[in-house]
């Protein structure tokens, strides 16, 4: 089966600019997650979707971050405006019930 | 906050068995225990999942005592390619999947 797809793989922007990341989960996976991983730290859960509904967005900085999964399949994570501390790898994952999370390759964001 | 506690780092030598213990004192009745492996510049990869007693697959074994307040990931005969960060997570039906800092395993020749 095809894995979780993410794009772009790398992005460099200046602070105060906007950026968007795209994720296409494994076919049939109802649950989709976005994580932020800062260098040297474990992934931090930003938001979890079940189909097109939000299950958990308690750690999403809602003043600047937004995410959507309109048709219950692919998803977009947006940052507007970006700050220097947003430099990180943004990981998308999907899962089927209790069978573990499948992660994509991530998008490495550098904010200058 | 993560619901688990693990050692920050461990060292081992090729061919040895490595055991990484994770504490999860507040594990809920419906929570499963899942371990992930992460190499640099890659997303985490599922290794093994269990609820109680022992689970074994082609990669590792997972030992869970009766009180389920801890678990141990066992990697038999490690090689240099097992050098990675290992994460222990607990959650119900893949909800609330929060990673801690993980355990950085270094395998030496």
Residue B44 has its nearest CB partner, among A43, A56, A99, at A43
Q: For residue range A71-82, list pLDDT tens digits in order.
A: 889 999 999 999
Contact A103 B99 (CB under 8 A): no
Q: Among residues 7-66 of chain B, which lie with CB inside 8 Å of chain A?
A: 32, 34, 36, 42-46, 49
SS3 state at A84: helix
Residue A4: closest C-alpha in chain B? B43
Q: Choose from B43, B44, B47, B89 for mutation: most chain A CBs within 10 A.
A: B43
Q: In this predicted structure, what is the pLDDT of residue A75? A: 97
**Per-residue pLDDT for B82 more than 90?**
yes
Please give the mean pLDDT across all residues of chain B.
93
- Contact flag A42-B99 (C-beta cutoff 8 Å): yes
The pair of three-digit structure tokens given for residue A73, joined into one six-digit string: 């399949």
> SS3 for A7?
strand
Distance (Å) of CA A49 to CA A17, A76, A77? 26, 12, 12
The 3-state secondary structure of B53-101 reads EEEECCCCEEEECCCCCEEEEEECCCCHHHCEEEEEEEECCCCCCCCCC
C-alpha neighbours within 13 Å on the C-beta side of residue B54: 4
Q: What is the pLDDT of residue B61?
A: 97
pLDDT score recorded for residue A1: 67
Smallest Cβ distance to B43: which of A56, A99, A104?
Answer: A104
Write out chain A's pLDDT in tens, 112 residues. Answer: 689 999 999 999 999 999 999 999 999 999 999 999 999 999 999 999 999 899 999 999 999 999 999 888 999 999 999 999 999 999 999 998 767 899 999 999 999 9
Q: In the A/B pair of chains, how many CB contacts fall below 8 A?
A: 58
pLDDT of residue A33: 96
B22-66 pLDDT per residue, tens:
999 999 998 999 999 999 989 999 999 999 999 999 999 999 999
Q: What is the pLDDT of residue B2?
A: 63
Cα distances (Å, whole numbers) of residue B13 to A80, B17, B21: 46, 9, 18
Which pLDDT score is estimated for B94? Answer: 81
In Å, how far is A104's CA from the nearest CA of chain B?
6
* Mutate which: B9, B48, B97, vs A, most A CBs within 10 A: B97
Find the closest chain B residue to A41 by CA distance: B101
Distance of CA B3 to the CA centre of its chain: 13
Q: Are A19 and A13 in contact (CB under 8 A)?
A: yes
């Amino acid at each position: 089966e095809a894995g979780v797809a993410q794009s772009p793989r790398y992005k460099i922007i200046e602070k105060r600019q906007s950026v968007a990341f795209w994720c296409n989960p494994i076919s049939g996976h109802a649950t989709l997650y976005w994580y932020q991983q800062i260098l040297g730290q474990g992934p931090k859960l930003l938001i979890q979707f079940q189909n097109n509904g939000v299950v958990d967005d308690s750690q999403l900085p809602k003043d600047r971050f937004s995410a959507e999964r309109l048709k219950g399949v692919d998803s977009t994570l947006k940052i507007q405006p970006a700050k220097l501390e947003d430099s990180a790898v943004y990981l998308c994952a999907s899962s089927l019930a209790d069978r573990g999370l499948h992660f994509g390759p991530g998008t490495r964001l550098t904010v200058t | 906050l993560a619901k688990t506690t693990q050692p920050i780092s461990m060292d081992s030598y090729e061919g040895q068995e490595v055991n990484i213990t994770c504490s999860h004192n507040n594990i809920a009745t419906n929570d499963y225990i899942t371990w992930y492996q992460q190499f640099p510049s890659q997303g985490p990869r599922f290794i093994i999942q269990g609820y109680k007693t022992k689970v074994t697959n082609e990669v590792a074994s997972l030992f869970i005592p009766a009180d389920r307040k801890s678990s141990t990931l066992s990697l038999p005969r490690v090689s240099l390619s097992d050098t990675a960060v290992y994460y222990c997570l607990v959650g119900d039906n893949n909800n609330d999947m929060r990673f801690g800092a993980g355990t950085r395993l270094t395998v030496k020749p």
